[in-house]
Chain A
């Protein structure tokens, strides 16, 4: 795992856009997490449901390649509206990613599609009614996705993205059925600020 992260960081530094070519973007987003699967105790059987996702990302993007940091939170990932065994259950992700975008010159006045992928950490937290099957675990994760950004002005635009998160390397502990695993899809819409 450390080797993967080291390789990723090396690649990110090597491929990071030169300052003169780069544009910076900040993208606060909202959307939904869905189709989740987990081996953590999921007492409300809610991981597979759709849940509100909030977060933000920061991006430095050159003509083709960029680097991105993404922070997301699904505050009710383990909660279901019609069940009552989970008092609180959230998933938080923090990832660093490489972005491969369509050349800017080709998409200056239209949507600019991109692919994004990288790795980081995912933290799952569950508090149940009896407080006997609590979960608090941080796992390594990979994320892969694709999206498109369209700027309405020099500074402001909109971004749509679909991204898949999947934990890797979870151990068997006393808060899951088998090795700890978590995965889900996230679809978001973001405001994009460029400067």
Chain B
């Protein structure tokens, strides 16, 4: 028996074999622990982030909040907090539709940039070509998308989303239909089933003739689930409010869910909607008079944070809703936040172009920029 064992281990003594087994086992366990550590660290990051989010939501006066973090290959984390409708105790869900407010301009930017790729529009085109009545008829489409004006002193930034309106006419000219139909086609293409191109799209009397009746019914069904907007006072009391936005524009009016926005985000990251080079250019901010980068690229704010570039956008309707989307470009990690009060944005000067002005943005960046 002893002889057979000695032969099977090529003449090594049992003590040496036992020692080797211990070393192999130790190395295996160590390897597994090392491999598993980043995973656990990431889980811990998400747990912490979720805890911060819930705490901030309560203090910010947000009755219902949905949150998604999407990586380069798909959604990696979701959370739905509070109520989409407080009176009926309807819990918020990641497929709950919310007013997107200013994030609508990200969709507009994607449509414009697609037209530019196809050679149907140019960022150097004047807005007046498509909307002669616009007060910004002399501005280029690129200037509108970047919220910039070029004067004697050079290019300057001023965040005025309403300036984007001529872009709707530009998209309509590019696609040969209405702006609403272009937005609806984008939603259909990406299977964004919880998205509506403006609440009036569901109305039979005012709706765009390019929107089929079946789609209008589907929009009505989506709007039936729309998160109720709330005004929240300093004591945290939520009162039902009417959302001020009822019409689709180039910078406002889209209704969508966090799930659907994640689809849009993934389509952008994967180059489904735009070529990677186009998106990279959009996320390249123009330079100001002193050669310094301005805060806004074509459709997104762009800034640096601890060496990482971040593209982001926000929206807000006072006493009704607010939204935030931010992508850490080197990691391809996108945060989507949709709220049914103005708590995500009201207290913070986000229009100045600094995401860290928002505690929500600051915690996201601090947690995931490494």
Residues of A within 8 A of B (CB): 41-45, 83-85, 129-133, 172, 174, 176-178
B77: CB under 8 A from chain A? no
B51 contacts chain A at the CB level, 8 A cutoff: yes
25 contacts between A and B (CB under 8 A): A41-B56, A41-B359, A43-B52, A43-B59, A45-B58, A45-B59, A83-B55, A85-B51, A85-B52, A85-B55, A129-B48, A130-B366, A130-B367, A131-B366, A132-B362, A132-B363, A132-B366, A133-B52, A133-B359, A133-B362, A133-B363, A174-B357, A176-B347, A177-B347, A178-B347
Cα(A84)–Cα(B54), bound, Å = 13
**Structural contact, B347 and A130, CB atoms closer than 8 A:** no
Residues of A within 8 A of B61 (CB): 177
Tell me the nearest residue of chain B to A38, going by C-beta: B59
Contact B367 A41 (CB under 8 A): no
Q: With A41-B359, A130-B367, A172-B347 in contact, is A177–B59 under 8 Å at CB?
A: yes
User: Max chain A CB contacts within 10 Å: which of B48, B51, B58, B59?
Assistant: B59
User: With A and B bound together, what is the CA distance between A85 and B53 in angstroms?
Assistant: 11
Residues on B with beta carbons closer than 8 Å to the beta carbon of A129: 48
**B60 lies within 8 A of chain A by Cβ:** yes
B356 beta carbon closer than 8 Å to chain A: yes
Please determine whether B363 and A44 come into contact, CB atoms closer than 8 angstroms: no
In the complex, the 8 A-B pairs of residues with the closest C-beta atoms, listed nearest first: A132-B366, A43-B55, A177-B347, A178-B347, A132-B362, A130-B366, A133-B359, A132-B363
Given A172-B347, A174-B356, A130:B363 Cβ within 8 A: yes
Who on chain B is nearest to A130 by CB? B366
Which residues of the partner chain A approach B48 to less than 8 Å between Cβ atoms? 129-130
> How far, in Å, is A93 (CB) from chain B's closest CB?
22
Docked complex Cα distance between A131 and B48 (Å): 12
Instruction: Report the bound CA distance from A101 to B97 in whole Å.
Output: 61
Tell whether, in the assembled complex, residue A42 and residue B362 are in contact, meaning their CB atoms are under 8 Å apart.
Answer: no
B55 and A177 within 8 A (CB)? no
- In the docked arrangement, what's the CA distance between A43 and B52, Å? 7
Q: Which residues of A contact B55 (CB under 8 A)?
A: 42-45, 83, 85
CA distance A84 to B52 in the complex (A): 10
For B354, the closest partner residue in chain A by CB is: A174
Residues of chain A within 8 A (CB-CB) of B52 are 43, 85, 130, 133
Interface residue ranges of B25-77 to A (CB < 8 Å): 48, 51-52, 55-56, 58-61
A177 to B234, CA, bound (A): 10
Nearest CB in chain B: distance from A45 CB, A: 6
Given A130-B363, A132-B363; A42-B356 close (CB under 8 Å): no
Give CA–CA (A176, B357) in the complex, Å.
Answer: 10
With a CB–CB cut-off of 8 A, which chain B residues contact A133? 52, 359, 362-363
Instruction: Tell me the minimal C-beta distance from A184 to chain B in angstroms.
Output: 15
A132–B359 Cα distance when bound, in Å, is: 8
Q: How far is the CB of A131 from chain B (nearest CB, A)?
A: 8
Residues on the B chain within 8 Å of A132, using CB: 362-363, 366
* Cβ distance B268 to chain A, nearest Cβ, rounded Å: 27
B347, A42: Cβ atoms closer than 8 Å: no
* B356 engages A41 (CB within 8 Å): no
Minimal beta-carbon separation of A142 from chain B (angstroms): 19
Whole-angstrom distance between the alpha carbons of A146 and B343 in the complex? 37
Q: Could you say which residues of chain A place their CB within 8 Å of the CB of B359?
A: 41, 133
Are A42 and B59 closer than 8 Å at their CB atoms?
Answer: yes
Q: Chain B, 356-370, contact with A by CB distance < 8 Å: what is the 0/1 string?
A: 110100110011000
Complex contacts, B356 vs chain A, CB 8 Å: 174
